[in-house]
Structure 1
Amino acid sequence: MCRVSAVVSLLPISCLATPIYEHPWHARRAYVTPEELQPSYDFVIAGGGLAGLVLASRLSEDANTTVLVIEAGPTGDDVRSRIDTPVIAYFNGLMRSQYDWQHITTPQPNLNNRNISWPGGKVLGGSSAMNGMYMVRPSAVELNTMAKVLGDMDGAAAWGWDGMYNAMKMSETFTPPSAEIQSEGNILYNAASHGTSGPIHTTFAGFVLPLFGQWGATLGNLGVDVTSDADSGEGWGAFVSTSAINPSNWTRSYSKSAYIDPLPPRANLHIMTNQTVTRLIFDNSAGTLKATAVEYANNGYQTKPWPTVGVNKEVVVTGGPVGSPNILMQSGVGPADKLKAAGVEVAYALPGVGQHVQDHLSTQVIFRTTAQTTAQLYAAGAINGTSNPIASFVNSAIAYTNITDLLGDYASAFQQEVIANMSASTNDRALNPSSDPTVTKGYQAIYQATVDTMLTPAGQVELLLAMTGTSAGQDTFAVQAGLQHPFSTGELYIATPNPFDYPVINPNYFSHQADVALLREGIKLARKVGQTQPISTFVTAEVSPGPDVQTDEQVDAWLRGVVSTEFHPSCTCAMLPLDQGGVVDAKLKVYGLANVRVADSSVFPLSFAAHLMAPTYGLAEQAAMIIKSQYNGTPSPAALQTATATASSQPTGTSNNDNKPSSGFKLAALPSLPIAFAVVLTFLVPAVLL
């Protein structure tokens, strides 16, 4: 085990003395009350979460542009030690507190009618202030599939691998691990795949436990590839993920600490907390709905009429996968039948709002162990102090297992079975809740895209090594399994005209049998991890599901009683063509609205084998560039990718993929064109899985 003294000796004394993230100008940050608001702003950002703060920082770089952020939660400064200390997310984080939205799903019929908790950050920084800090990128095949689904839409070129790779890479400042940590954790990485000057700090934990370092060898013994570079487009196999941690003081790096706190005072940027966006106010005098004001209220305690603030240019909705569709529907934009049933006047019928809900469903196999766990260290009081490397230990050993890892020779036949069920699934209201033909067409497009990626090396089930203890005791660890590309999709909709009433969330978990089969195989593989050397050396017994659960039928029944969210919901304001139930176009503009965009994880049209924080930072950076290109004349991400594609189409004598791990899957050449403004979030939440 890595000695704390050895780790500490690698850091300058000045770094160890650094208190929890503070800046001398922090007290002068432009936080405002409703009484201090200007009458109007160029851009009003509805939601101060991960994406919202990225946009606030980027758009306010232009001193001639005024920006207002409206956030329902507080600043979080009063619980900053709980936010900043990485391991606290696993023991005393913000989940189930006033800083958590605490959403909950409807009873899920395929999960024994259980309601599933959907946490989310209700605080500046959103879920980036409370999640498990995984910085895991989607693979190139997934992002290129997303761009393909967009077809020939104007701006679609921004959303393939090349554009998103640049945005994610330029979002970060990566610090390699010390030689000791790298050796003890068996950590493989390629520094060239990471950024060097972005706001978000990424690194590996400054402390390693003995069992942790056996992850790659164990997965390799099970036939799962061990990757030396998970961040350059081939993010499958076993690896140790980077985490959003600042190694100068071992604190969480999140959108507030990275994009807002370091800024010098900006007179053109105002941030208003503890105020909820209730709806957008539209004007239709020009024949097109234009947002002219944003209504807000102090958590419902004010007497109507609620106050408004004017909009000069645009509203950017960044409420996340629950908040963004909720804001649109409360504003009268969404499925007409749902709006009328809720008592909301229809301003613009957009049937895809709240549809295509996708989420990673997961559970875990628990083992009793002789190895030391973080839970034991925490209970013993060994994890304390604001610059303690032990306090930076988070769960980050990961593996994305593909369909061959899971099903072996049966993989191709399984894919064909799923394809054969496509027509029936598309028209099954239990699988596709909307009867709108455009949403149905979109469901089929997403289904087809998911099928098309099944036989690629991309992961279908994610395995995670959880060393932070379980409900079975401090002397346990878990191997978690999470479904990554669900065929089960659901819906989210409002039930009342009160914006403070939570929306109805129905993910339709396990409505497609393929999801049950894939997660079952993932659990089987997770069990094998505990039975395989060298990890098996540390195992004394399997606690759950235990020896009484062996057959496929028994595993399926057990799954229905224990699975829960992996905290990665998305797709509720899907970026798709309008005739496929899309909500936003490839420039993130809401269909039918002149000046409203959505820019958060709700716009991804399909699920990724990844955690959502890294791609959401990328999306937010792309969104800022798209907006700046319209108003400031700077290049758009799509234009940059088109220029890159044109240049790279010329014959060359070398390939820039030579540093990638060998595999049978080839990627397009990665562009080296620098992107001005680039610096790039999941609805990620504070639990062991995130």
Structure 2
Amino acid sequence: MVAPKEVDVIVCGGGPAGCVVAGRLAYADPNLQVMLVEGGNNNRDDPWVYRPGIYVKNMQRDGVNDKATFYTDTMASSYLRGRKSIVPCANILGGGSSINFQMYTRASASDWDDFKSEGWTAKDLLPLMKRLENYQKPCNNDTHGYDGPIAISNGGQITQLAWDFVRAADAVGVPFNEDFRFLNVCIDLETSHGTEIWAKYVNRVTGRRSDAATAYVHSVMDVQSNLHLRTNSRVSRVIFEGTKAVGVAFVHSRNRAHKGELRETIVRARKCVVLSSGTLGTPQILERSGVGNSELLKKLDIKVVSDLPGVGEQYQDHYTTLSIFRVSNESTTSDDFMRGDKETQDKLFAQWENVPEKALLSSNLIDAGFKIRPTEEELKEMGPEFNKLWDTYFKDKPDKPVMFGSIVSGAYADHSLLPPGKYMTMFQYLEYPASRGKIHIQSANPYVEPFFDSGFMNNKADFAPIRWSYKKTREVARRMDAFRGELTSHHPHFHPGSPAACRDIDIRTAKQLLPNSFTVGIHMGTWHRPSEPYDASKVHEDIVYTEEDDKAIDDWIADHVETTWHSLGTCAMKPREEGGVVDQRLNVFGTTNLKCADLSICPDNLGTNTYSSALLVGEKAASLLCEDLGLKVRTPHAPVPHAPIPTGRPATISAK
């Protein structure tokens, strides 16, 4: 089909929020002409997308899968000991929902309430949370939806390591009970300290990833002709007549054929332009369009449409570190698959094709996790910087977790560099960092790299909670039955004589573990003979860390902390005089017919894996746009191709 030169609404960016907006609007009125412009490839029927268990491949920067754009700090950071952070952003239709870890959590109620914007409280948004969900886990509360387009389940398998993790976490003060699958620790709006089997964006019937493009875009394009998709097209700027947005200009995502010459295609918008290009993309489009700090725009010879100094400022993310441990050789992990063992790969791919509802590849192997808040005693050890943040931000909001933690049944690492064996990875996630960054264009040319400062760890308060969480997840690991020692290359470099020093097995012993001829264990830093099995029940005391040990952990954090792909905050929804960029209806200040609809609008952080929040912002934006256009959102949504989902609340709820 020939793409039209004029439509009613143009949505710039095909990430989760953009897919929701485009799909909902087009489905609401078959006569409304909607165009969705995406910089990456179409994700439709891409096996690298829809097979959940191979998501790690999409995170690699090897030129094979061109599914991400990589933003690197323009300048080295003294807070990272001279390192530059790298923040990958999805470059494919569906955005992060097509390549992410598929971990489903929700933000706490106070996160939304803290926006202090009419219509954006958790109570206001709950109906939209339910509208988007097809919740396929056992559940005993009414905060979930069962007829929406996004499937959420436990995936094909839950490994024994996950149950082992939950049991061990309880031993260090992170609780669960016999019916913990009903607690919904990570997906309700109130619980901030507890352990759970984590839900996944995986359809339990088909075993496929539940991405936003399949749910909201392809499903509409299959039954209607009013949704026009342009992929491999990078939006250069918004076209204004005065302060009214009347269209957009876009270029090919890769300027190879034109040898650097800028060739723009212009499409007119009769009713509205919606920017949904993400936290790092949307502010660049605004600035190239003349919306941003007037001093910067004048330096770049860009006509000022609206002077908004807040554009590109207050960049936020979630930070993660990971530590890797050895596990017993009988454990179910992804290591042989990731290592490239052909027999294992053939077996697991066949299993996924034949019995996806039970397949290991119908899972991300991130089966369990927790939210945690420190005790009064733990707070005393976390330093004055964090305690000040605690008193002003966390203390009176008990629904906010300070850290997330999760277990991966396998090593999240380059297996070609690892000794033989089986592993588990513990992730530590900082949910509300105090650090801030920024992004700004350096040219009106969309192919010129922007100035980017991730701001990672530039506030000292952020070190203490990550340090504390590392210790907590290490104690959980030591108490697991499957624990077989630490992979020292993926832990802090403690002094060898310290009681906190990590212990590993030598390469010769590791090779003997394949096949599993004996069990090697570690207890309180003392090696056992190969014939003596590890007994986690004997671990009663936590490791005691010295100031030198804490310094080693902080250095390790600075050297290894990285993004969780949860960028937000650069076009904040708050008053203009406070640095805001959009109002409560997502209108860009100083313009008309222009909205922003992605996580850049968040004025503060959200304690969650942010795919759920991006979908929710999209649903809210779709509702606001339908109100503006005199339309009504139609539900239930169009059926999802290739992914039949049982609708309605299950007749019986069983923990089995």
TM-score by length of 1: 0.75
Aligned partner of 1:54 in structure 2 is: 20
Aligned partner of 2:403 in structure 1 is: 461
Q: CA RMSD in A?
A: 2.5
The answer to whether structure 1 residue 563 and structure 2 residue 524 are counterparts is: no
Aligned partner of 1:593 in structure 2 is: 591
- Seen in structure 2, the aligned counterparts of structure 1 residues 235 and 88 have a Cα distance that, compared at 3 Å, is farther
> Which of the residues 346, 349, 354 maps onto 1:384?
349
Aligned partner of 2:465 in structure 1 is: 518
The answer to whether structure 1 residue 233 and structure 2 residue 189 are counterparts is: yes
Report how far residue 204 of structure 1 moved. Answer: 0.5
Aligned partner of 1:129 in structure 2 is: 98
> Which of the residues 67, 71, 79 maps onto 1:99?
67
Report how far residue 537 of structure 1 moved. Answer: 4.2
After superposition, the C-alpha distances for 1:323-371 in whole angstroms (9 at most, x for unaligned) are 1111111111111233234443322211011111011111112111113
Aligned partner of 2:582 in structure 1 is: 584
Equivalent AA in structure 1 for residue 491 of structure 2: P
- Seen in structure 2, the aligned counterparts of structure 1 residues 454 and 479 have a Cα distance that, compared at 3 Å, is farther
Aligned partner of 1:295 in structure 2 is: 249
Report how far residue 396 of structure 1 moved. Answer: 3.5
The answer to whether structure 1 residue 70 and structure 2 residue 37 are counterparts is: yes
> Which of the residues 491, 499, 511 maps onto 1:545?
491
> Which of the residues 471, 476, 489 maps onto 1:529?
476
Report how far residue 193 of structure 1 moved. Answer: 3.2
Q: 1:82·1:93 contact (CA, 8 Å) conserved in 2?
A: no
After superposition, the C-alpha distances for 1:524-560 in whole angstroms (9 at most, x for unaligned) are 112111122xx15433335331553652111111211
- Seen in structure 2, the aligned counterparts of structure 1 residues 506 and 304 have a Cα distance that, compared at 3 Å, is closer
Aligned partner of 1:505 in structure 2 is: 452
Q: Which runs of 5+ in 1 are unaligned?
A: 1-31, 151-155, 178-188, 421-447, 635-674, 681-690
- 1:552 and 1:37 mapped to 2: Cα distance? 59
Report how far residue 384 of structure 1 moved. Answer: 0.6
The answer to whether structure 1 residue 216 and structure 2 residue 181 are counterparts is: no
- 1:574 and 1:119 mapped to 2: Cα distance? 21
Equivalent AA in structure 1 for residue 217 of structure 2: I
Equivalent AA in structure 1 for residue 128 of structure 2: A
- Seen in structure 2, the aligned counterparts of structure 1 residues 212 and 159 have a Cα distance that, compared at 3 Å, is same
Matches within 5 A, 1:425-464: 451-452=393-394, 456-464=398-406
- Seen in structure 2, the aligned counterparts of structure 1 residues 569 and 406 have a Cα distance that, compared at 3 Å, is farther
Matches within 5 A, 1:628-667: 628-632=626-630
Q: 1:402·1:457 contact (CA, 8 Å) conserved in 2?
A: no
After superposition, the C-alpha distances for 1:599-640 in whole angstroms (9 at most, x for unaligned) are 011111111210000111111011100111111165xxxxxx
Report how far residue 192 of structure 1 moved. Answer: 3.6
Equivalent AA in structure 1 for residue 233 of structure 2: Q
Equivalent AA in structure 1 for residue 574 of structure 2: L
- 2:588 and 2:484 mapped to 1: Cα distance? 52
Aligned partner of 2:622 in structure 1 is: 624
- Seen in structure 2, the aligned counterparts of structure 1 residues 375 and 537 have a Cα distance that, compared at 3 Å, is closer
Aligned partner of 1:685 in structure 2 is: none
Aligned partner of 2:271 in structure 1 is: 313
Report how far residue 262 of structure 1 moved. Answer: 2.4
- Seen in structure 2, the aligned counterparts of structure 1 residues 377 and 512 have a Cα distance that, compared at 3 Å, is same
Matches within 5 A, 1:464-479: 464-471=406-413, 472-473=418-419, 475-479=422-426
Aligned partner of 1:645 in structure 2 is: none
Equivalent AA in structure 1 for residue 157 of structure 2: F
Aligned partner of 1:140 in structure 2 is: 109
> Which of the residues 127, 148, 160 maps onto 1:198?
148
Q: 1:95·1:130 contact (CA, 8 Å) conserved in 2?
A: no
> Which of the residues 359, 363, 386 maps onto 1:393?
363
Matches within 5 A, 1:340-419: 340-370=298-328, 371-378=331-338, 379=341, 380-381=344-345, 382-385=347-350, 386-387=352-353, 388=356, 389-394=359-364, 395-404=366-375, 407-408=378-379, 417-418=388-389
Report how far residue 64 of structure 1 moved. Answer: 2.4
Aligned partner of 2:600 in structure 1 is: 602
- Seen in structure 2, the aligned counterparts of structure 1 residues 611 and 104 have a Cα distance that, compared at 3 Å, is same
Q: 1:403·1:459 contact (CA, 8 Å) conserved in 2?
A: no
Deviates more, 1:490-499 or 1:216-225: 216-225
Report how far residue 455 of structure 1 moved. Answer: 5.4
Q: 1:368·1:539 contact (CA, 8 Å) conserved in 2?
A: yes
Aligned partner of 2:8 in structure 1 is: 42
- 1:416 and 1:390 mapped to 2: Cα distance? 42
Aligned partner of 2:522 in structure 1 is: none
Report how far residue 42 of structure 1 moved. Answer: 0.9
- Seen in structure 2, the aligned counterparts of structure 1 residues 508 and 295 have a Cα distance that, compared at 3 Å, is same
Equivalent AA in structure 2 for residue 168 of structure 1: M
- Seen in structure 2, the aligned counterparts of structure 1 residues 120 and 676 have a Cα distance that, compared at 3 Å, is same
After superposition, the C-alpha distances for 1:166-212 in whole angstroms (9 at most, x for unaligned) are 212221112237xxxxxxxxxxx436432111001110121122211
- Seen in structure 2, the aligned counterparts of structure 1 residues 468 and 175 have a Cα distance that, compared at 3 Å, is same
Q: 1:142·1:453 contact (CA, 8 Å) conserved in 2?
A: no
Which SS does the other structure have where 2:470 is aligned? Answer: helix
After superposition, the C-alpha distances for 1:87-118 in whole angstroms (9 at most, x for unaligned) are 10024567653221122223222112212221
Q: 2:44·2:214 contact (CA, 8 Å) conserved in 1?
A: no
Q: 2:394·2:400 contact (CA, 8 Å) conserved in 1?
A: no
Deviates more, 1:225-234 or 1:551-560: 225-234
Aligned partner of 1:244 in structure 2 is: 201
The answer to whether structure 1 residue 85 and structure 2 residue 46 are counterparts is: no
- 1:590 and 1:95 mapped to 2: Cα distance? 35
Report how far residue 405 of structure 1 moved. Answer: 8.1
Report how far residue 163 of structure 1 moved. Answer: 2.3
Q: Which runs of 5+ in 2 are unaligned?
A: 496-500, 502-544, 639-656
- 2:309 and 2:435 mapped to 1: Cα distance? 19
Aligned partner of 1:326 in structure 2 is: 284
After superposition, the C-alpha distances for 1:278-304 in whole angstroms (9 at most, x for unaligned) are 1011111xxxx0011211112335555
Equivalent AA in structure 2 for residue 219 of structure 1: A
Q: 1:342·1:494 contact (CA, 8 Å) conserved in 2?
A: no
Aligned partner of 1:161 in structure 2 is: 122
- Seen in structure 2, the aligned counterparts of structure 1 residues 470 and 629 have a Cα distance that, compared at 3 Å, is closer
Equivalent AA in structure 2 for residue 82 of structure 1: W
Q: 1:48·1:125 contact (CA, 8 Å) conserved in 2?
A: yes
After superposition, the C-alpha distances for 1:383-408 in whole angstroms (9 at most, x for unaligned) are 21443411112113121111338825
- Seen in structure 2, the aligned counterparts of structure 1 residues 520 and 454 have a Cα distance that, compared at 3 Å, is farther
- 1:197 and 1:412 mapped to 2: Cα distance? 47
Aligned partner of 1:170 in structure 2 is: 131
- 1:367 and 1:500 mapped to 2: Cα distance? 42
Q: 2:159·2:367 contact (CA, 8 Å) conserved in 1?
A: no
- Seen in structure 2, the aligned counterparts of structure 1 residues 406 and 599 have a Cα distance that, compared at 3 Å, is farther
- Seen in structure 2, the aligned counterparts of structure 1 residues 190 and 539 have a Cα distance that, compared at 3 Å, is farther
After superposition, the C-alpha distances for 1:109-159 in whole angstroms (9 at most, x for unaligned) are 21122122211221111111000111110011222222x3x3xxxxx2x21
The answer to whether structure 1 residue 488 and structure 2 residue 488 are counterparts is: no
% of aligned pairs identical? Answer: 26
